[in-house]
Chains A and B, each alone.
Chain A
Amino acid sequence: MAERAGLDFDIDDGEDVDISALVKPKKDKAERPANEKEVITKTAEESGFSSRQPKKTRRRGKRSPYTQQKNVKMRPGMPELFIDVCEKLGLKDYELMEHAIEAVLQKHKLKEEQESFKELVKSK
């Protein structure tokens, strides 16, 4: 097998390219395709090159104020009726429960509890 030819470092200075000769005019950006970035990324991914940039973390939305659970016993069929009412009014189950409590407080004129209710739902 032939010896590698390139380990001879004695290059004649006369053959060396003058650095000034390599200063060329500025590049024409107009030649580049509009979707260049997408094209580069697609080709890179097809060639096994992937993004190493840390993914931007999605900011979490506002925390739901509905964090407490309450198990309630009901008559048979009542849970289904509850869900039917929710669907009809376009409410979540926890929202319907609050509406129901509010209605009871108003019906029975429970002033003190109504104030507590207002205070509790403020955070919503």
Chain B
Amino acid sequence: MPTIVMASSKGGAGKTTAAVLLASELARQGAEKGIGVTLIDADPNQHSAKWANKEGRPANLSVVENSDEESIIEDIESAEEQTPFVIVDLEGTASIAVANAIARADLVVTLCQGSQDDADEAVKTIKLIKRQGKVLKREIPFSVLFTRTSAAITPRTFKYILNEFESAGVDVFKTSLIDRDAFRAIRSFGGTVNDLDPKEVSGIDKAAQNVKAYASEVKQKLSELMSERVA
């Protein structure tokens, strides 16, 4: 029952997009195998829950709304009892809710756009993850996922930030979530990227490929972590 936490102490980093895309893709893949996914919305703005309450949410995707710093640990534990996959979407602030969720994570996805402010906040979150791991006496795996990247160009600032992370030995997703209209569209229409109408939204195929690659990398990381634990 992997619990994957989307964490960044900065708002607008792409946590909800990353959470919704991963939850819907894992639910899509798990549908025929009877594997369920729970999406916990611990952001007071409840954007994940708003998406989930629109039509088209996969039947095997459950949503826990209005989770907060008091309830989040119990919400995660309860969700882990119900479904094999638990995804947690957090508020973009440096809050205790973030710390509580991190403590229960099998993988923390730290969201970051290609800007210095985002990178600074990602580092702040990474420091917390490392400290939590130290005091809880277990390594909390994490990886940085770049969001809202450009498909056409790689700006210098982005390259510089990427290089900084890699030089510091921080694990970074090879896939990034590209700034695509399809990712915004599912928040308007509901459902998954694959359900979008090509007449309404362009670039659905590429968006679906992007989501699949992202989910595939998450699964690869989880698989490696499971192998490490067994070994």
Residues of A within 8 A of B (CB): 1, 3-7, 9-11, 15-17, 19-24, 26-27, 29, 32-33, 36-37, 39-53
Contact = CB atoms under 8 A, between A and B. Distances in A.
Interface in B179-230: 206, 209-210, 212-213, 216, 219-220, 222-223, 226
A47 B223 CA distance: 30
A23 B35 contact: yes
A36 B1 contact: no
A27 B70 contact: no
The bracket for how many chain B residues form the interface is 35 or more
Given A17-B216, A23-B1, A50 B222 contact: no
B173 A6 contact: yes
Interface of B: 1-2, 9, 26, 29-30, 33, 35, 68-70, 73, 77, 80-81, 84-85, 91, 93-100, 103, 124, 127-128, 131-132, 135-137, 149, 151, 154, 158-159, 162-163, 172-176, 178, 206, 209-210, 212-213, 216, 219-220, 222-223, 226
B223 A17 contact: yes
A81 B98 CA distance: 61
A39 B220 CA distance: 31
B124 A47 contact: yes
A20 B1 CA distance: 11
Contacts of A22: 2, 84-85, 219, 222-223, 226
Contacts of B93: 52
Contacts of B99: 40-41, 43-44, 47, 49
B154 to A, nearest CB: 5
B95 A40 contact: no
Contacts of A26: 1, 80-81
